[in-house]
Amino acid sequence: MIRPKAVKVVPLDNYKLLITFDNEEVRLYNAEPLITGEWFGRLRDPSFFKTVHVAGLSVEWAGGQDVCPDDLYYSSVPVER
């Protein structure tokens, strides 16, 4: 099975990401469980969290923090349009 690729990401309140994939699915990902320790803890700053952008198959933040593409897709939930 080919995993869809993230093509657009919008940071939302409460550490959520609204992600559009190349298969036209729009899904909601909760990034809050990632925000632990020094490396991912930087995401707790709302202005830093908003630096998220599409990178390769997934998304990443300005400091290099990223999410495994499988986790990004399979741990997110579909959004009704």
Q: Is residue 34 part of a domain?
A: yes
Local confidence band at 51 (pLDDT 50, 70, 90 cut-offs): very high
State the pLDDT at residue 16. Answer: 98
Q: Write down the pLDDT at residue 1.
A: 63
- 50 assigned to some structural domain: yes
User: Position 66: which residue type?
Assistant: D
According to the model, what pLDDT value does residue 81 have? 72
Token pair 């959520």 in the structure block, residue: 16
The total of structural domains in the chain comes to 1
Q: Is residue 68 part of a domain?
A: yes
> For the residues 11-26, what does the mean pLDDT come to?
96
C-alpha of 29 from chain center: 6
Q: What is the CATH number of the domain that holds 12?
A: 3.30.2020.10
pLDDT of residue 80 exceeding 70: yes
* Average pLDDT of the segment spanning 52-65: 96
User: Is 45 among the domain residues?
Assistant: yes
Domain that holds residue 47: 6-78
Q: Is residue 67 part of a domain?
A: yes
Residue 1 belongs to some domain of the structure: no
